[in-house]
């Protein structure tokens, strides 16, 4: 990781904390002793921080450089790990909101057949092009049961976060998508109608959900990614 990548990943992590409401520009300014304008300029990419400045921000937010590394970079230092064939298993929150999966956020690794990840086609939204592409999450019963028998409780799904489109991946099959539904991750079929994202379960016994898009939002902003692979454990 070079200095430019370090700055960008620190910006992304700080913005993520601000969006979650656990941090503000004024609070970070007080913690580090920097002027609010200096913090704002850094967050908006208009200025860089010195090495000493980065250290002050990391210390204030209880971060280390390892926390800024994508999980696959940490994996490269581990024997027998290869990011081309392994995907980090993460929480739903990390899948939704973390552009780079930190080592501390990795719950384990899901190992795939060699070369499988390279066969998936991407269609990323502009805002997701810099995101780490593949993550895996476990689906609880509350979200899996409406999708049975496609999904079963505790299934692990592989999410391609570089496919944020409603365009069908297979011409004869609906995309199964991971959707940001409020603050939670939902696995559903989806389409778009009257400025609403329509989430459809597989089972007719469960209701369709509608998500209104906010001003300036597009469907791709709510689509975390396409479910590229399902591993049912039941």
What distance in Å separates the CA atoms of residue 183 and residue 74, rounded to the nearest whole number?
28
What's the predicted TM-score (pTM) here? 0.68
The range of the structural domain enclosing residue 192 comes to 71-231
What percent of the residues of the chain are helix, what percent strand, and what percent coil, each to the nearest 5? 35, 25, 40
Residues in the chain: 234
Kind and range of the H or E run holding 16 = helix 3-20
Is 77 found in the same domain as 154? yes
Whole-angstrom CA distances from 74 to 103, 105, 130, 154 are: 7, 12, 18, 27
Which residue among 49, 68, 87 closes a domain? 68
Of 44, 68, 92, the position where a domain reaches its end is: 68
The domain that contains 108 carries what CATH number? 2.10.109.10
Do 30 and 109 share a domain, yes or no?
Answer: no
Give the number of domains in the chain.
Answer: 2
The per-residue pLDDT for range 146-192, each reduced to its tens digit, is 999 999 999 999 999 999 999 999 888 888 999 999 889 999 999 99
Residues 132 and 185 in one domain: yes
Min mean pLDDT across 44-48, 134-138, 140-144 is at 44-48
């Amino acid at each position: 990781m070079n200095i430019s990548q370090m700055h960008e990943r620190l910006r992304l992590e700080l913005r993520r904390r601000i969006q979650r409401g656990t941090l503000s520009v004024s609070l970070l300014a007080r913690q580090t002793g920097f002027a609010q304008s200096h913090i704002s300029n850094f967050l908006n990419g208009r200025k860089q921080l010195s090495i000493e400045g980065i250290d002050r921000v990391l210390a204030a937010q209880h971060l280390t450089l390892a926390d800024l590394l994508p999980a696959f970079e940490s994996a490269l230092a581990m024997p027998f790990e290869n990011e081309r064939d392994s995907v980090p298993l993460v929480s739903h929150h990390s899948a939704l909101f973390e552009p780079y999966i930190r080592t501390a956020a990795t719950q384990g690794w899901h190992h795939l057949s060699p070369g499988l990840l390279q066969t998936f086609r991407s269609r990323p939204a502009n805002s997701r092009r810099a995101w780490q592409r593949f993550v895996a999450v476990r689906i609880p019963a509350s979200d899996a049961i409406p999708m049975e028998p496609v999904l079963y409780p505790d299934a692990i799904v592989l999410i391609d976060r570089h496919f944020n489109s409603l365009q069908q991946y297979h011409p004869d099959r609906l995309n199964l998508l991971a959707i940001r539904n409020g603050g939670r991750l939902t696995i559903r079929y989806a389409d778009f109608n009257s400025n609403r994202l329509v989430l459809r379960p597989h089972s007719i016994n469960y209701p369709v959900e509608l998500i209104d898009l906010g001003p300036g939002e597009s469907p791709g902003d709510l689509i975390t990614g396409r479910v590229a692979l399902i591993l049912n454990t039941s």
